Amino acid sequence: MNSPLSSPLGTEFLKSFFEDAVQSFVVPTVANEVKKAETLLIISTKDNYTNFIANLDVKYKMKFLDILKTSEFEGKEGSNICSYVVCENIKRVSLILLPKECDVRSLQEIGASFSNIISHRFENAILEFDGLKDEEISEVFYGLTLRNYRFIKYFENKKEGKASKLKSIYLFSNSANLQNILNEKAEVAKHNMLARDLINSPPIDLNPTTYSQIVKDACANLKNVEVEILDVAKMEELKMHSLLAVGHASVNPSKTVVMKYTGNPSSNDVDFALVGKGVCFDSGGYSLKPSGGMEDMKSDMGGSAAAFCAFRLIAKMGLKINVVASIGLVENLVDDSAYKPGDVLRSMSGQTIEVLNTDAEGRLVLADLLYYTQKNYQPKSMINLATLTGAVIVALADVYAGLMYNNNEIASDIEKAGEKTGELAWRLPLRKEYDSMINSTIADMKNIGSGRGAGTVTAGQFLKRFVNVEKGWEAKWAHLDIAGVAFDGKGGADPKTQKGGTGWGVNLLYTLIKDSINK
Tell me the per-residue pLDDT of 314-332, one tens digit each, with 9 for 90 and over.
999 999 999 999 999 999 9
Over residues 76-84, mean pLDDT: 69
Per-residue exposure over 283-310, b if at least 16 CB sit within 10 Å of its own CB, e if not: bbbbbeeeeeeeeebbbbbbbbbbbbbb
Please check whether residue 347 is in contact with residue 322, taking contact to mean a CB–CB distance below 8 angstroms. Answer: no
Indicate the number of domains in the chain: 2
pLDDT higher for 197 or 1?
197
Question: Facing residues of 95 across strands?
Answer: 42, 81
Question: Facing residues of 403 across strands?
Answer: 427, 480
Whether 371 is in a domain gets the answer yes
Residue 363 catalytic? yes
Please check whether residue 197 is in contact with residue 151, taking contact to mean a CB–CB distance below 8 angstroms. Answer: yes
Over residues 198-218, mean pLDDT: 93
Dihedral pair phi/psi, residue 280, rounded to 5°: -65, -25
Over residues 200-214, mean pLDDT: 93
**Catalytic-role residue among 105, 153, 298, 363:** 363
3-7, 35-39, 41-45, range with greatest mean pLDDT: 41-45
Cα separation, 376 vs 259, in Å, equals 12
pLDDT higher for 301 or 92?
301
Least confident of 88-102, 264-278, 434-448: 88-102
Question: Facing residues of 445 across strands?
Answer: 353
Question: Facing residues of 384 across strands?
Answer: 275, 479
Whether residue 14 is predicted with pLDDT greater than 60 in this model: the reply is no
Dihedral pair phi/psi, residue 282, rounded to 5°: -125, 100
Model confidence at 16, pLDDT cuts 50, 70, 90, reads: low
**CA 374 from centre of chain:** 23
Whether residue 35 is predicted with pLDDT greater than 70 in this model: the reply is no
Whether residue 170 is predicted with pLDDT greater than 90 in this model: the reply is no
pLDDT higher for 98 or 369?
369
Question: Facing residues of 258 across strands?
Answer: 228, 326
Cα separation, 190 vs 207, in Å, equals 22
Tell me what pLDDT residue 11 has. Answer: 53
Cα separation, 47 vs 34, in Å, equals 25
Tell me what pLDDT residue 281 has. Answer: 98
Over residues 89-102, mean pLDDT: 82
Over residues 108-118, mean pLDDT: 88
Helices (H) and strands (E) in the chain, counts: 18, 19
Please check whether residue 97 is in contact with residue 80, taking contact to mean a CB–CB distance below 8 angstroms. Answer: yes
Do 303 and 443 lie in one domain? The reply is yes
Do 243 and 364 lie in one domain? The reply is yes
Over residues 359-367, mean pLDDT: 98
Domain boundary among 127, 161, 177: 177
Whether 20 is in a domain gets the answer no
Least confident of 147-161, 215-229, 297-311: 147-161
Cα separation, 409 vs 394, in Å, equals 27
Model confidence at 228, pLDDT cuts 50, 70, 90, reads: very high
Whether 350 is in a domain gets the answer yes
Over residues 399-426, the pLDDT tens digits come to 999 999 999 999 999 999 999 999 999 9
Do 350 and 417 lie in one domain? The reply is yes
Whether 506 is in a domain gets the answer yes
- Distance between the two ends of the chain, CA-based, in angstroms? 53
**Helices 104-118 and 134-148, interaxial angle, to 10°?**
50
3-state secondary structure 345-392: EECCCCCEEECCCCCCCHHHHHHHHHHHHHHHHCCCEEEEEECCCCHH
Whether 163 is in a domain gets the answer yes
Tell me what pLDDT residue 124 has. Answer: 87
Give the CATH number, domain containing residue 228: 3.40.630.10
Over residues 363-376, mean pLDDT: 98
Do 338 and 467 lie in one domain? The reply is yes
Model confidence at 8, pLDDT cuts 50, 70, 90, reads: low
Of the candidates 346, 358, 375, 383, which has an alpha carbon nearest to the alpha carbon of residue 463? 383
Tell me what pLDDT residue 3 has. Answer: 67
Whether residue 19 is predicted with pLDDT greater than 60 in this model: the reply is no
Beta strand ranges found along 241-380 (DSSP E):
255-262, 272-282, 322-332, 344-346, 352-354
**Helices 178-200 and 134-148, interaxial angle, to 10°?**
30
Whether 190 is in a domain gets the answer no
**Catalytic-role residue among 91, 150, 289, 420:** 289
Model confidence at 17, pLDDT cuts 50, 70, 90, reads: low
Do 305 and 449 lie in one domain? The reply is yes
Over residues 131-149, mean pLDDT: 92
Tell me what pLDDT residue 491 has. Answer: 75
Do 217 and 168 lie in one domain? The reply is no
Do 355 and 233 lie in one domain? The reply is yes
Domain that holds residue 242: 207-517
Quote the percentage of the chain above a pLDDT of 70.
91
Domain boundary among 160, 177, 194: 177
Model confidence at 356, pLDDT cuts 50, 70, 90, reads: very high
Do 230 and 162 lie in one domain? The reply is no
**Helices 506-517 and 178-200, interaxial angle, to 10°?**
140
Cα separation, 519 vs 513, in Å, equals 10
Cα separation, 200 vs 149, in Å, equals 12
Over residues 340-360, mean pLDDT: 98
Tell me what pLDDT residue 498 has. Answer: 85
Over residues 55-79, mean pLDDT: 73
Whether residue 13 is predicted with pLDDT greater than 60 in this model: the reply is no
pLDDT higher for 328 or 151?
328
Cα separation, 110 vs 495, in Å, equals 9
User: How far, in Å, are 45, 87, 130, 149, 266 from residue 41 at the CA level?
Assistant: 13, 14, 11, 19, 47
Handedness of CA 419, 421, 422, 426 (dihedral sign): negative
Do 130 and 37 lie in one domain? The reply is yes
Whether residue 5 is predicted with pLDDT greater than 60 in this model: the reply is yes
Over residues 443-469, the pLDDT tens digits come to 999 999 988 899 999 999 999 999 999
Whether 323 is in a domain gets the answer yes
Over residues 262-273, mean pLDDT: 98
Do 268 and 366 lie in one domain? The reply is yes
Please check whether residue 191 is in contact with residue 145, taking contact to mean a CB–CB distance below 8 angstroms. Answer: no
Do 405 and 443 lie in one domain? The reply is yes
Domain boundary among 156, 177, 198: 177
Which helix or strand (DSSP H or E) is residue 321 part of? none
Residue type, 153: K
Model confidence at 165, pLDDT cuts 50, 70, 90, reads: confident
Task: Give 341's contacts (C-beta < 8 A, 6+ positions apart).
Answer: 286, 287, 355, 356, 357, 358
Over residues 421-431, the pLDDT tens digits come to 999 999 999 99
Torsional class of 156: left (φ above 0), alpha (ψ -120 to 50), beta (otherwise): alpha
Whether 198 is in a domain gets the answer no
Give the CATH number, domain containing residue 144: 3.40.220.10
Whether residue 89 is predicted with pLDDT greater than 80 in this model: the reply is no
Do 169 and 244 lie in one domain? The reply is no
Q: Is 94 exposed, middle or buried (0-12, 13-18, 19+ CB in 10 A)?
A: buried
Dihedral pair phi/psi, residue 370, rounded to 5°: -65, -45
Model confidence at 60, pLDDT cuts 50, 70, 90, reads: confident
